Amino acid sequence: MNLQITIAQLGSTTGYAIVNIYDPTAPNAVLDSQNVALPITGTAVVNFANVNDQTYVVKTFISSDTNWQHGTQVGDAFYAYPGLSNTAVLRNDLAIVADSTSGFSSGQNQYIDTSLAGWTYSVEQRGVGTLQQGVEINILSNGGWQFINGYQIQSGEVFIMHFQPNVSTSSSTSTANPKGNLFDGYEILTADVTLTAADMGKIIMLQGTNPLISVTLPDPTTLPDGKITCFLCNGGSQIMASILATTQISWLKKTLTAIHMGQCEELWLYKIGSTWYVAHSEGNFKTVGQYVEADVLDDINCFQADGGTFSRTNYPRIVDFVLNRLDPSMVVNDTDWNLQTVVNGVTTYPNHGKWSLGDGSSTLRRPLRMKKKDVNGNFIDNGFLRAVDGTVEKAGIFQKDQVGNFFSDLTGINAWLATAGNPNNGVIVLGLPTGSKVENRGNASVNNSQFTGKVTNDGSTYTAAGETAPSTVGVYRLIRY
């Protein structure tokens, strides 16, 4: 596989432009180096042959000879990808001196140069350092920069602009699909975009820089029927990727206008007429909202059922599940979700097993289906899961623990009260075999007594830790989003 890099607009007229490539995991260890004699008229193409199919870091230097270590780096490093056309428009540092550089006079607070428009750069004030954008200076859209605090530039002061490369990546210019290839190449998308007919029939790799990347499909009526495009949501910083249709997508017996993808998920789309169809999918598309028991908290495309809130914008797939698929009884407002009830002195949260509408606009809240302490240090436990019929009782309904009628083989005893009305002489009797009795001796009465604790071997009592539970082993409860 070859890595092709096109460089342009280097201002130097003598020496060499040297292009180095690096592995992103070792960005200072040169893997290969190529050089081009200066000056460059128009553009120059540098080709690295037989490279691995991976992302590479690229750095460019200007040197008087072919040794990059003798030269100076031009702009920042950038990324390049084998099999694609990678173009980097470079620009040398620009140094300006007040009252010496044309159009840059002392006594003012800005520098105007229309050739700077469209470039990303930092401004260094010699003797001071790099000026903070948005704090000390503003970059002007028409080209140039301006001090924010009203600072007046002094005669002889030197400012240096350091430019980042203007990098673009595109697929091969060939539109032919070589025999035996399922797709016409691939593209890497890092920001929201509306696709065109030229993008279809390829592998579209989604590697956004924000929590959500949105890709709008082209008008299907302008495309040939049956041509498959593959979307891979793998890498980048996004939580989800949204594939948006201007017409409709037919899938899972539904008519949709969007399909949302999580990390490491795959979707193949084709169109017939004005409708998009799914040819293949891999991921959580059909299992959104399911609970998962795991020994790790970072299972892919899952978050913990911990009662926390999350962004409606960044998690559109689980938001659609909660608001449009769940029974309405499963979703409450945040006030009701935090409602407390006290039963026999024990505080419970009957709606913690449900979803909450969060702040009502930008967030939702997950169910709390785990053991957790509240703000007072008391354990909140929504208990064990129990199947319900969906009619009389529905998912998320809470039932407080209780002890019902039971049979026991307890040893019987005879017990009596020595003095009537004195509670200190009360004896708790759990059960008696046939023929046993509670005797009343003297001026005493026999009454029912409430059992309030567990009896130990020595006859004393203790209170359990707020729950009646069997032996357990801890596990994380996650929700697929």
Q: Which CATH number fits the domain that encloses residue 36?
A: 2.60.40
Arithmetic mean of pLDDT over the chain: 83
Same domain membership, residue 328 and residue 388? yes
* CATH value at residue 255: 2.60.120
Same domain membership, residue 195 and residue 98? no
- Tell me what pLDDT residue 366 has: 96
**Which of 282, 307, 329 marks a domain boundary?**
282
| Separation of alpha carbons 322 and 324, rounded Å | 6
Same domain membership, residue 299 and residue 389? yes
At residue 69, does pLDDT exceed 70? yes
**Contacts of 439 by beta carbon, 8 Å cutoff, 6+ apart:** 414, 415, 416
At residue 10, does pLDDT exceed 70? no
Question: Higher pLDDT residue, 392 or 285?
Answer: 285
- Tell me what pLDDT residue 467 has: 53
| Mean pLDDT lowest among 118-127, 298-307, 402-411, 468-477 | 402-411
Q: Provide the pLDDT confidence category of residue 421 given band limits of 50, 70 and 90.
A: low
Q: Provide the pLDDT confidence category of residue 67 given band limits of 50, 70 and 90.
A: very high
- Based on its alpha-carbon atoms, the radius of gyration of the chain, rounded to whole angstroms, reads 36
| Mean pLDDT lowest among 284-298, 351-365, 423-437 | 423-437
Q: Is residue 29 included in any domain, yes or no?
A: yes
Q: Is residue 33 included in any domain, yes or no?
A: yes
- Tell me what pLDDT residue 192 has: 94
- Tell me what pLDDT residue 431 has: 46
At residue 414, does pLDDT exceed 50? no
Same domain membership, residue 387 and residue 295? yes
Decide: pTM greater than 0.85.
no
Q: Provide the pLDDT confidence category of residue 180 given band limits of 50, 70 and 90.
A: low
Same domain membership, residue 230 and residue 195? yes
Q: Is residue 246 included in any domain, yes or no?
A: yes
Q: Is residue 145 included in any domain, yes or no?
A: yes
Q: Provide the pLDDT confidence category of residue 407 given band limits of 50, 70 and 90.
A: low
Q: Is residue 178 included in any domain, yes or no?
A: no
Q: What is the mean pLDDT of residues 248-258?
A: 95
Counting the structural domains of the chain, the total is: 4
Same domain membership, residue 306 and residue 362? yes
Chain segment 89-129, per-residue pLDDT in tens: 888 889 999 999 999 999 999 999 998 998 889 999 999 99
At residue 443, does pLDDT exceed 80? no
Q: What is the mean pLDDT of residues 224-243?
A: 94
**Which of 225, 250, 282 marks a domain boundary?**
282
At residue 174, does pLDDT exceed 70? no
Q: Is residue 408 included in any domain, yes or no?
A: no
Question: Higher pLDDT residue, 5 or 411?
Answer: 5
**Which of 386, 401, 416 marks a domain boundary?**
401
Pairing mode, strands 355-356 and 331-332:
parallel
At residue 404, does pLDDT exceed 70? no
Q: Which domain holds residue 193?
A: 183-282
Q: What is the mean pLDDT of residues 261-275?
A: 96
In Å, how far are 198, 289, 444 from 331, measured between CA atoms?
44, 13, 56
At residue 418, does pLDDT exceed 70? no
Q: Is residue 406 included in any domain, yes or no?
A: no
CA pseudo-torsion sign 93, 98, 103, 108: positive
Q: Is residue 247 included in any domain, yes or no?
A: yes
Other CB atoms within 10 Å distance of the CB of residue 307 = 20
